[in-house]
Chain A
Amino acid sequence: MSPWYEKSAFEIREAVASGAVSARAVTESFLARIDAVDAQVGAYTQVWRDEALAQADAVDAKIAAGEPVGALAGVPISLKELICTQAGETTCSSKILAGFQSPYDATVTQKLLADDAVVLGKVNMDEFAMGSSTENSAVQKTANPWDLSRVPGGSSGGSAASVASATSAISFGSDTGGSIRQPAAFCGCVGLKPTYGRVSRYGLVAFASSLDQIGPLTRDVRDAALAMNVISGKDPRDATSADLPAEDFTKKLGASIAGLKIGLPKEYFVDALGSEVRTLVEKATKVLEEQGAEIVEVSLPHTEYAVSVYYIVAPAEASANLARFDGVRYGFRHPDAKNVTEMYVKSKSEGFGEEVQRRIMLGTYVLSSGYYDAYYLKAQKVRTLITRDFDEAFKACDIILTPTTPSTAFAMGEKSSDPLEMYLNDIFTISANLAGIPGISLPCGKSASGLPVGFQLLSKAFDEATLLQTAYCYEQHGGNDLGLPALS
């Protein structure tokens, strides 16, 4: 029988809840896997061995006592470095938060613990989620498990690498412009960005508050649905969270997609799109068509402006969100600051990495006196147009299908020299954040060089159920389980 670390969260939960295996045994299996492969992958920034085993024992005790257990009972998970946990540290992979212990748990953390998940530790990311390769981490490099010389994508690169290398069954990341979906595509796993407002942001260290969402990276679609059941819902501590009744996101899994309209936005199938990716995405489209979906062409005319809008709005919000890291209440303070201004300037300049400082500068500039209207206000208006594009498109279809990324995982260092080129990597994922709609990336095969390729499905706001139904249908009939990467 294959080791537990190769199993899906759903299978693990079933086995643990039924007493077929102990949560401890499962946890030990994953901890052993971490010991075996994470030295090469570098997904984990913190491994909470003892805490994890203690949590597992608590779950086993509940089961022994015949008490009901949660929806993720005994499932070993990992959390991106920017999700607040009272246990361990919450560093956002930044020097400025090195050693920071949050005095509170994020709402998502609370929900996961309440549902008996076992937290193995925290995983790497681009500093403050600013990046598409995880190369901007101040802590360590993370490699793509399918080719250790390549990046895992980002900013949730640690999460994707961890799930792909089977060192956690589910990893929770955050997606501001593609930070869950792009690394999921690069690493060959499933990554879901929920509708804005579906999952509480309380305790998610903010990058761009009007774009951020927490979401799961998983081995398969069912696990993503399972995870959503646990983390979704109105949170009185997050004024932007949607007040909707609890929903079972697994309810439409396996239902036929016959008659479902799937739209292909012509603006996404452009020259920038690599031919290998294009071919595999078209193959995936065929699979869905064979399952009875009706393929239609749709148009999202303002797509070409999305990157510009994003790189104005996100840095602007970030410039304010990151102002709090000033060395007064927590985090790094430069030792030789003679006065308050020196404390700010020296602490920030030494505590923040280059990309973070670049975006703070960009964001500060677009908000500064004389430029607000030309940049920030203009961008928010175009954001309205981009959102209207989706409203129009969804009149003609239920689901929009696109590639997740223009290309497969690139080599470490390949793009880090040119910020703009790096930004353009998010071209297919950014629009969903700007419009607030949900998106999922799932594997649709491998390139000739053996690198995973992903495609993206988008739905109307708060229609994750149909999104997951469609993704699950592809997964069942697409027939390309990538298996595990060969890691010695």
Chain B
Amino acid sequence: MSTITRSDVAYVAGLAQLDMDEAATERLVDEMNSILDYMAKLNELDTDAVEPMMHAMALTNVFREDEVAPSLPRELALRGAPVHDEEYFMVPKILDAEGGGA
């Protein structure tokens, strides 16, 4: 389909928030290319008229009712956090006040 370049690997690593050094980049260029070459065989198939299969079973409309259930005690919620105080999960200062957002 397409060949992966070092810059592709760098771009994807950026999206995945992974740090790829020289060696790792080189390795991944080779590995991903050989894997994707193998996958190229999918192009032998004409799938224009085929619906993609997103679930292994044909379920629809599975809901929960709008009822409040007990939340976790805060100590338990915060227990596993690498850095936290009595109220908050702590992260390094977020300089960019924007960024995420729905």
Interface residues of chain A, those whose CB is within 8 Å of chain B, are 100-101, 103, 196-197, 210-211, 236, 239-240, 242, 302, 304-305, 307-309, 311-312, 319, 326-333, 337-346, 348-349, 352, 357-358, 360-362, 364-365, 368, 371, 374-375, 377-385, 387, 419-420, 423, 433-436, 461
Bound Cα distance from A14 to B51, whole angstroms = 50
Within 8 A of A (CB), among B53-80: 53-57, 59, 62, 64, 72, 76-77, 79-80
CB within 8 A of B16: which of A211, A319, A378? A319
A333 touches B55 (CB 8 A): no
B52 touches A311 (CB 8 A): no
B77 touches A382 (CB 8 A): no
Given A333-B83, A345-B18, 15 further pairs, Cβ under 8 A: A210-B54, A305-B45, A328-B81, A330-B82, A337-B92, A339-B92, A339-B95, A340-B94, A343-B91, A345-B17, A345-B19, A377-B52, A384-B50, A434-B56, A436-B57
B54 touches A420 (CB 8 A): no
Cβ–Cβ < 8 Å partners of A461 in chain B: 57
**In the assembled complex, how far is the CB of residue B48 from the closest CB belonging to chain A, in whole angstroms?**
9
Q: Given A311-B39, A345-B17, do A385 and B54 touch, yes or no (CB 8 Å)?
A: no
CB within 8 A of A332: which of B1, B19, B45, B82? B82
A384 touches B51 (CB 8 A): yes
**In the assembled complex, how far is the CB of residue A210 from the closest CB belonging to chain B, in whole angstroms?**
6
CB within 8 A of B32: which of A330, A338, A361? A361
A361 touches B16 (CB 8 A): yes
Q: Given A328-B81, A361-B9, do A384 and B15 touch, yes or no (CB 8 Å)?
A: no
Ranked 7 nearest A-B pairs via Cβ: A436-B56, A380-B52, A330-B80, A333-B82, A196-B56, A381-B47, A349-B19
Bound Cα distance from A345 to B20, whole angstroms = 10
Q: Which of chain B's residues has its CB closest to A461's CB?
A: B57
Cβ–Cβ < 8 Å partners of B62 in chain A: 239-240
Asked whether any CB of chain A lies closer than 8 Å to the CB of B26, the reply is no
A375 touches B1 (CB 8 A): yes
B32 touches A362 (CB 8 A): yes
Cβ–Cβ < 8 Å partners of A308 in chain B: 38-39, 41-42
Interface residues of chain B, those whose CB is within 8 Å of chain A, are 1-2, 4, 8-9, 11-13, 15-19, 24, 28, 31-32, 34-36, 38-39, 41-43, 45, 47, 50-57, 59, 62, 64, 72, 76-77, 79-83, 89, 91-95
Cβ–Cβ < 8 Å partners of A349 in chain B: 18-19
Cβ–Cβ < 8 Å partners of B76 in chain A: 103
Bound Cα distance from A305 to B41, whole angstroms = 7
A360 touches B91 (CB 8 A): no
Q: Given A311-B35, A343-B91, A365-B4, do A196 and B16 touch, yes or no (CB 8 Å)?
A: no
**In the assembled complex, how far is the CB of residue B12 from the closest CB belonging to chain A, in whole angstroms?**
5
Bound Cα distance from A384 to B58, whole angstroms = 12
Q: Which of chain A's residues has its CB closest to B52's CB?
A: A380
**In the assembled complex, how far is the CB of residue B97 from the closest CB belonging to chain A, in whole angstroms?**
12
Q: Given A340-B94, A365-B4, do A384 and B35 touch, yes or no (CB 8 Å)?
A: no
A360 touches B18 (CB 8 A): yes
Could you name 10 residue pairs across A and B whose Cβ atoms are closer than 8 Å? A101-B80, A196-B56, A236-B64, A302-B45, A330-B80, A339-B93, A340-B92, A341-B17, A348-B16, A434-B53
Q: Which of chain B's residues has its CB closest to A374's CB?
A: B1
**In the assembled complex, how far is the CB of residue B53 from the closest CB belonging to chain A, in whole angstroms?**
4
Cβ–Cβ < 8 Å partners of B38 in chain A: 307-308, 420
CB within 8 A of A362: which of B35, B83, B94? B35
**In the assembled complex, how far is the CB of residue B60 from the closest CB belonging to chain A, in whole angstroms?**
10
A385 touches B45 (CB 8 A): yes
A358 touches B28 (CB 8 A): yes
**In the assembled complex, how far is the CB of residue B47 from the closest CB belonging to chain A, in whole angstroms?**
4
A379 touches B42 (CB 8 A): yes
B55 touches A240 (CB 8 A): yes
Cβ–Cβ < 8 Å partners of A433 in chain B: 56
**In the assembled complex, how far is the CB of residue B24 from the closest CB belonging to chain A, in whole angstroms?**
8
Cβ–Cβ < 8 Å partners of B35 in chain A: 311, 362, 419-420, 423
**In the assembled complex, how far is the CB of residue A6 from the closest CB belonging to chain B, in whole angstroms?**
37
Q: Given A308-B41, A382-B42, do A361 and B28 touch, yes or no (CB 8 Å)?
A: yes
Bound Cα distance from A211 to B81, whole angstroms = 29
A103 touches B77 (CB 8 A): yes
Q: Which of chain B's residues has its CB closest to A377's CB?
A: B52
B81 touches A329 (CB 8 A): yes
Bound Cα distance from A342 to B91, whole angstroms = 11
Q: Which of chain B's residues has its CB closest to A335's CB?
A: B82
Cβ–Cβ < 8 Å partners of A387 in chain B: 53
Bound Cα distance from A180 to B56, whole angstroms = 18
Q: Given A103-B77, A384-B50, do A338 and B92 touch, yes or no (CB 8 Å)?
A: yes
**In the assembled complex, how far is the CB of residue A322 from the closest CB belonging to chain B, in whole angstroms?**
9
Q: Given A103-B77, A344-B17, do A382 and B91 touch, yes or no (CB 8 Å)?
A: no
Bound Cα distance from A276 to B81, whole angstroms = 51
Bound Cα distance from A423 to B31, whole angstroms = 12
B47 touches A382 (CB 8 A): yes
A360 touches B82 (CB 8 A): no
Q: Which of A309, A311, A361 has the most CB of B within 10 A?
A: A361
Q: Given A327-B82, A330-B81, A377-B52, do A368 and B15 touch, yes or no (CB 8 Å)?
A: yes
